[in-house]
């Protein structure tokens, strides 16, 4: 048994970025494990999605059937279980998403395999998987060494790895058109329900000015907005700010908000728990302002200012506003 099997995820005809991040992790792990990276893509027309995966995985297995257009675990699981039995991978990897949290336990339970979820780091030591996971709300990191097993199922936290560059490896693709699927019993897909229209898409911004609990309250938000306006930036926030209702949920960065990759990310008064870091750590340049020199945000920041943000904000606004 060897190699890594990545389960691709797509939604409404679009491949999810988290799949490419899983491929980045898989390609890093494969030399330690031995064997190659194989990606499994189930869809009504998988060839339409294959282009983004090609060049990022050594093997690509495409399974086509009209009823695989939208995720349904009762239809997906039997196909994936057959692939696991045939390929015998050492690791089955998928995103820690709503789909992954539904599918991974089902696969592990039905096949009697060990399962580890919400991983932020993966390594292979002495023939076994070692993982890192955030605990206590991101205030600490846990390292787990699993017992050696023929196959392990794992889910990967969004933002934990970068997607590999296109053309990183040569890909051999194989297509299968399924004539029938396992009979469904309890679930069937009805429709996608779109969320409320957002006031702004922070994921599309080149520059983000992001505020955290250190902003103090809603009355101080206009100061951050003034800086954002001076920079031609978009205002975003950490979870405590959104939970308090100081800014809309659509502005939240992090695992329970949005993953962003702006050219510049200015973090004001954000402590930087892992959940927030996972949503922004791949930004081009990260600048953090926090009065606590030990704040976790400084671990990922390229530039840091240890100071009261209310002393820094006016100077930045004056500098860029003028």
Q: Is 270 annotated as a binding residue?
A: yes
- Tokens 């339409």 correspond to what residue? 48
Q: Is 256 annotated as belonging to a binding site?
A: yes
Compute the distance between CA of residue 46 and CA of residue 250 in angstroms, rounded to an integer: 31
Residues 43 and 64: beta-carbon distance below 8 Å:
yes
274 is in an annotated binding site: yes
Query: Is 171 flagged in the annotation as binding?
Result: no
Q: For residue 201, what is the DSSP state?
A: -
Is 253 annotated as a binding-site member?
A: yes
**Which are the contacts of 255, defined by CB distance < 8 A and separation ≥ 6?**
157, 158, 159, 275, 278, 279
Q: Is 272 annotated as a binding residue?
A: yes
Kindly state the tokens that stand for 299: 């671990």
CA 24, CA 117: separation in Å to the nearest integer?
17
Does 7 show up as a binding residue in the annotation?
Answer: no
CA–CA dist 105, 146 (Å, integer): 16
- The answer to whether 271 is a known ligand-binding residue is yes
Annotation-wise, does 273 bind a ligand? yes
What is the rounded distance in angstroms from the CA atom of residue 267 to the CA atom of residue 209? Answer: 6
99 is in an annotated binding site: no
Angle, in degrees to the nearest 10, between helices 309-321 and 221-231: 30
Is residue 34 annotated as involved in ligand binding? no
Residue 283 is assigned to a ligand binding site: no
Which residue positions form the known binding site?
213, 238-239, 252-256, 269-276, 290
Which residue positions form the known binding site for FAD?
213, 238-239, 252-256, 269-276, 290
């Amino acid at each position: 048994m060897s190699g890594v099997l990545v389960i691709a995820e797509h939604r409404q005809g679009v491949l999810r970025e988290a799949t490419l991040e899983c491929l980045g992790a898989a390609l890093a792990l494969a030399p330690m494990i031995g064997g190659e990276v194989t990606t499994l893509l189930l869809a009504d027309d998988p060839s339409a999605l294959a282009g983004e995966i090609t060049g990022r995985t050594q093997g690509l297995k495409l399974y086509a059937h009209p009823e695989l257009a939208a995720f349904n675990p009762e239809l997906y699981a039997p196909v994936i279980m057959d692939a696991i039995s045939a390929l015998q991978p050492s690791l089955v990897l998928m995103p820690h998403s709503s789909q992954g949290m539904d599918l991974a336990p089902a696969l592990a339970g039905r096949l009697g395999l060990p399962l580890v979820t919400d991983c932020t780091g993966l390594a292979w030591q002495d023939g076994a998987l070692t993982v890192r996971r955030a605990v206590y709300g991101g205030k600490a990191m846990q390292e787990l060494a699993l017992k050696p097993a023929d196959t392990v199922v794992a889910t990967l936290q969004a933002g934990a790895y970068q997607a590999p560059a296109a053309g990183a490896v040569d890909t051999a693709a194989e297509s299968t058109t399924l004539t029938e699927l396992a009979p469904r019993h309890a679930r069937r897909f009805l429709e996608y329900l779109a969320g409320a229209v957002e006031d702004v898409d922070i994921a599309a911004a080149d520059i983000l000015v992001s505020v955290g609990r250190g902003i103090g309250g809603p009355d101080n938000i206009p100061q951050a907005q003034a800086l954002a306006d001076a920079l031609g930036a978009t205002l975003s926030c950490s979870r405590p700010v959104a939970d308090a209702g100081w800014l809309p949920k659509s502005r939240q960065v992090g695992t329970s908000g949005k993953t962003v990759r702006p050219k510049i990310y200015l973090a004001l008064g954000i402590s930087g728990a892992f959940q927030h870091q996972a949503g922004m750590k791949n930004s081009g340049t990260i600048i953090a302002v926090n009065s606590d020199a030990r704040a976790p945000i400084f671990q990922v920041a390229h530039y840091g200012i240890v100071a009261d943000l209310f002393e820094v904000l006016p100077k930045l606004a004056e500098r860029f506003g003028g």
